[in-house]
Amino acid sequence: MPAERDYYEVLSVERTASGDEIKRAYRRMAMKWHPDRNPGDAKAEVEFKVCAEAYEVLSDPQRRTLYDQYGHAGLRQAPGHDFSRMRPDDIFSIFNDIFGGGGGFGGGRQRRGPVRGYDLETSVEITLEDVLRGKEVEVNFTRRDVCGACEGSGAKKGTKPIQCPTCGGSGQVAQAGLGGMFRMVTTCPNCRGRGTVISEACPECRGAGRVPRKRSLSVRIPKGIAEGQVIRVAGEGEPPPQEADAAGKGPRGDLHVVIAVRDHESFERVEDDLVCTRDISFPLAALGGRVRVETLEGPQDVDIPKGSRDGDIVTLESAGLPHLRKPERRGDLRIGLRVVVPRRLSADQRRLLEEFAKLDGTDGEEIRPPEKSFFKKIKDSIAGSET
Asked if 273 and 320 count as a contact pair (C-beta separation under 8 A), the reply is yes
Grouped pLDDT means (10 residues each) for the chain, 387 residues: 78 89 87 75 84 89 87 71 51 55 42 75 93 94 93 88 88 66 71 83 90 94 92 92 82 92 93 93 90 92 92 93 91 93 85 80 53 62 60
How far apart, in whole angstroms, are the C-alpha atoms of residue 294 and residue 265?
A: 12
Which part of the chain has CATH 2.60.260.20? 268-386
R_g of the chain, CA atoms, integer Å:
31
Residue 291's identity, in one-letter code, is: V
Across the chain, the runs of DSSP E, i.e. the strands, are: 120-126, 135-146, 162-163, 172-176, 183-187, 196-197, 210-221, 230-233, 255-261, 268-270, 273-281, 289-295, 298-304, 313-316, 333-340
The confidence score (pLDDT) of residue 262 equals: 93
Asked if 354 and 255 count as a contact pair (C-beta separation under 8 A), the reply is no
How far apart, in whole angstroms, are the C-alpha atoms of residue 202 and residue 71?
A: 46
Choose which CATH entry (2.60.260.20, 2.40.100.10, 3.30.910.20, 3.40.50.10470) describes domain 268-386.
2.60.260.20
Choose which CATH entry (1.10.287.110, 3.40.630.30, 3.30.565.10, 3.40.50.10420) describes domain 1-98.
1.10.287.110
Q: Please list the helix, strand and coil fractions of the chain in percent, rounded to the nearest 5, in that order.
A: 30, 25, 45
Residue partners of 41: CB distance under 8 A and separation at least 6: 35
**Residue among 289, 287, 290, 281 at smallest CA distance from 342:** 281
List, in sequence order, every residue forming a beta bridge with 145; answer none if it has no partner: 211
3-state secondary structure (DSSP) of residue 118: strand
Asked if 107 and 36 count as a contact pair (C-beta separation under 8 A), the reply is yes
How far apart, in whole angstroms, are the C-alpha atoms of residue 140 and residue 177?
A: 50
How far apart, in whole angstroms, are the C-alpha atoms of residue 84 and residue 1?
A: 12
3-state secondary structure (DSSP) of residue 88: helix
How far apart, in whole angstroms, are the C-alpha atoms of residue 185 and residue 195?
A: 14
Interstrand relation of 333-340 and 313-316 (parallel, antiparallel or unpaired): antiparallel
Which part of the chain has CATH 1.10.287.110? 1-98
Q: How far is CA 108 from CA 42, 103, 193, 211, 267, in A?
A: 21, 9, 11, 21, 47
How far apart, in whole angstroms, are the C-alpha atoms of residue 156 and residue 79?
A: 47
DSSP H or E stretch at residue 8? helix 7-11
- Distance from the Cα of residue 98 to its chain's centroid: 17
**Residue among 316, 320, 335 at smallest CA distance from 224:** 320
How far apart, in whole angstroms, are the C-alpha atoms of residue 89 and residue 93?
A: 6
Q: Burial of 42 by CB count in 10 Å (0-12 exposed, 13-18 middle, 19+ buried)?
A: exposed
Predicted TM-score of the model (pTM):
0.65
The confidence score (pLDDT) of residue 370 equals: 55
How far apart, in whole angstroms, are the C-alpha atoms of residue 215 and residue 293?
A: 43
How far apart, in whole angstroms, are the C-alpha atoms of residue 348 and residue 45?
A: 80
How far apart, in whole angstroms, are the C-alpha atoms of residue 120 and residue 168?
A: 35
